[in-house]
């Protein structure tokens, strides 16, 4: 039986959660109702499949009762327990939840803990805002509830029914990837490194399933989550630009764990300096005041780029170098001496050989080179066809070493 877990706080959302459960069952799936209520006055209901007390037992450290009198702490503790509870289940074919700010924050981490591809639908009052903290690098589908998740009415019935039928439809109509025998590899791309990445995928796609991730902060996290999940056999990290936003303060930052998946898994890694010449902001009027006098370039009406300085490039190179030193698997990091993006070339807006030189020198100074960890400088631009060929050659060599 295809099983969908229906998760929420039955003390305040009981009618909505049972409505979801019943619709999912009518659609042809089994449904497991999981109650994650944290109210000390909540009475457990007989028709709930997993009671709050059962879920709470999965908390890693079992908080003391007095610590849970604060609602915020209680929600955080139940969220941690729910992650472990869901991880312990072997029959989660899909998951759906519904809630306001508290319920969304409680349920989302458990959804993120599930593998990519397991259907995840979260009906939320905050789904029309910034959902990055809830979705992260995963494939959670968030649906705006329109009205509050507070009882059934002519609007909530329709929205919740759509959500129930969507998760049931995903579970009942799984797409099999078993027919694709090619191993998967991950690549990172930015608009200004597109020619390079397209040339690499063109050279490899006959033998590998090439998964390209847009280097917008979350894209890099998704790239590494798949590596951590054992779904990739290696990575070609052309566009490490998210590091610039992380260190300087742009809108597409990586996290402190960038490159961490390859350190943990020792998977073959080939990287480069793609778009390390830029920090990203929104429309021009959103650029912070301290950066208004810097070299700026309007990429499109919604994206403004700022050229990284010599000092910033030095920091970026050192940071990347230290992270690469943690990687014990086969590592090849290629430096394109003639430019790191489409607009870092003679006559282009971000051409700055001195800044690039500072970046390259910092990498050379920081990376501890060995037979497995190599830093390779070449007199090419990142978008030259020959550079893409070198990436392909080095990736194949790294695979043979693994």
Pairing of strands 278-281, 269-272: unpaired
What span, in angstroms and rounded, lies between the C-alpha atoms of 189 and 51? 45
DSSP annotation of 50 reads B
- Residues with Cβ within 8 Å of 244's Cβ and at least 6 positions away in sequence, in order, are 250, 275, 276, 278, 279, 280, 308, 312, 316
Distance separating alpha carbons of residues 332 and 365, to the nearest angstrom: 16
- Tokens (6 digits) for 289: 């005041």
Query: What is the model's pLDDT at position 66?
Result: 61
| Residue 272, phi then psi, degrees to nearest 5 | -155, -170
Q: How many CB atoms lie within 10 A of CB 93?
A: 18
| Statement: the pTM of the whole predicted model exceeds 0.85 | no
Residues 6+ apart with CB under 8 A from 202: none
* Tens digits of pLDDT across the chain (402 residues): 799 999 999 998 999 999 999 999 999 999 999 999 988 777 778 899 999 999 999 999 877 666 667 788 889 999 999 999 999 999 999 999 999 999 999 999 999 999 889 999 999 999 998 898 999 989 999 999 999 888 899 999 999 999 999 999 999 998 876 567 899 999 999 999 999 999 999 999 999 999 999 999 999 999 999 999 899 999 999 999 999 999 999 999 999 999 999 999 999 999 999 999 999 999 999 999 999 999 999 998 999 999 999 999 999 999 999 999 999 999 999 999 999 999 999 999 999 999 999 999 999 999 999 999 999 999 999 999 999 999 999 999 999 998
Give which of 279, 369, 360 is closest to 324, Cα–Cα: 369
CB atoms within 10 A of CB 325: 17
pLDDT for 157 equals 95
Query: Comparing C-alpha atoms, which of 308, 297, 276, 292 is closest to residue 348?
Result: 297
State the Rg of the chain over Cα: 24
Contact predicate 131/101, CB 8 Å: no
**Cα 13 from Cα 396, distance rounded (Å):** 53
Joined tokens for residue 377:
């400088």
Which residues are within 8 A (CB) of 205 and not within 5 positions of it... i.e. 6 or more apart?
Answer: none
Residue 154 CA to residue 252 CA, distance in Å, equals 39
Q: In what helix (H) or strand (E) does residue 236 lie, and over which residues does it extend?
A: strand 235-237
Tokens read off for 292 = 């208004």
Torsion sign across C-alpha atoms 6, 11, 13, 14: positive
Q: Write the DSSP assignment of 176-193 as a string of letters.
A: P-TT--SPEEEEEE-GGG
- Alpha-carbon distances, residue 157 vs 119, 164, 167 (angstroms): 21, 10, 16
- 105: how many CB neighbours lie within 10 A of its CB? 18
DSSP H stretches of helix in 179-309: 194-204, 218-228, 242-248, 260-265
Q: Strand 269-272 and strand 331-336: pairing?
A: parallel
Helix 101-113 × helix 71-88 angle, to 10°: 30
User: 């020619």: which residue's tokens?
Assistant: 195
What one-character-per-residue DSSP string does 86-130 give?
HHH-S--SEEEEEESHHHHHHHHHHHHHSPTTS-EEEEETTTTS-
With beta carbons less than 8 A apart as the criterion, state whether 366 and 321 touch: yes
The pLDDT, as a whole number, for residue 179 is 66
The two tokens of residue 59 are: 């908390």
395: which residues sit within 8 A by CB, 6+ positions away?
185, 204, 234, 236, 268, 270, 332
């Amino acid at each position: 039986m295809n099983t969908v877990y229906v998760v929420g706080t039955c003390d305040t959302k009981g009618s909505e959660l049972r409505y979801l459960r019943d619709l999912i069952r009518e659609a042809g799936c089994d449904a497991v109702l999981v109650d994650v209520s944290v109210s000390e006055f909540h009475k457990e209901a007989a028709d709930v499949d997993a009671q709050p007390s059962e879920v709470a037992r999965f908390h890693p450290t079992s908080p003391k009762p007095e610590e849970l009198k604060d609602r915020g702490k209680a929600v955080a503790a139940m969220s941690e327990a729910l992650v472990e509870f869901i991880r312990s289940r072997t029959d989660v074919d899909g998951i759906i939840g519904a809630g306001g700010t508290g319920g969304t924050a409680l349920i989302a981490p458990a959804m993120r803990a599930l593998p990519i591809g397991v259907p995840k639908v979260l009906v939320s009052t905050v789904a029309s805002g910034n959902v990055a903290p809830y979705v992260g690098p995963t494939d959670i589908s968030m649906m705006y509830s329109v009205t509050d998740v507070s009882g059934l009415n002519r609007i909530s019935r329709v929205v919740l029914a759509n959500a129930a039928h969507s998760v049931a439809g995903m579970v009942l109509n799984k797409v099999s990837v078993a027919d694709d025998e090619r191993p998967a590899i991950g690549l990172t791309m930015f608009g200004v490194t597109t020619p390079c990445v397209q040339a690499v995928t063109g050279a490899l796609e006959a033998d590998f399933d090439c998964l390209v991730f847009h280097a917008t902060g979350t894209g890099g996290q998704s790239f590494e989550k798949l590596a951590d999940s054992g779904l990739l056999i290696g990575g070609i990290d052309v566009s490490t630009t998210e590091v610039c936003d992380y260190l300087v303060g742009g809108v597409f930052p990586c996290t402190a764990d960038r490159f961490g998946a390859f350190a943990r898994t020792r998977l073959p890694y080939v990287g480069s300096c793609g778009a390390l010449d830029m920090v990203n902001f929104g429309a021009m009027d959103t650029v912070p005041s301290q950066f208004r006098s810097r070299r700026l370039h309007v990429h499109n009406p919604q994206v403004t780029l700022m050229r990284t300085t010599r000092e910033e490039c030095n920091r970026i190179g050192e940071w990347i170098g230290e992270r690469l030193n943690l990687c014990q698997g086969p590592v090849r990091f290629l430096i394109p001496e003639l430019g790191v993006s489409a607009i870092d070339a003679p006559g282009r807006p971000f051409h700055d050989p001195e800044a690039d030189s500072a970046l390259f020198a910092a990498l050379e100074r920081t990376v501890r080179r060995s037979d497995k960890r190599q830093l390779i400088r070449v007199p090419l631009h990142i978008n030259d066809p020959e550079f893409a060929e070198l990436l392909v050659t080095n990736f194949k060599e790294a695979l043979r070493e693994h």
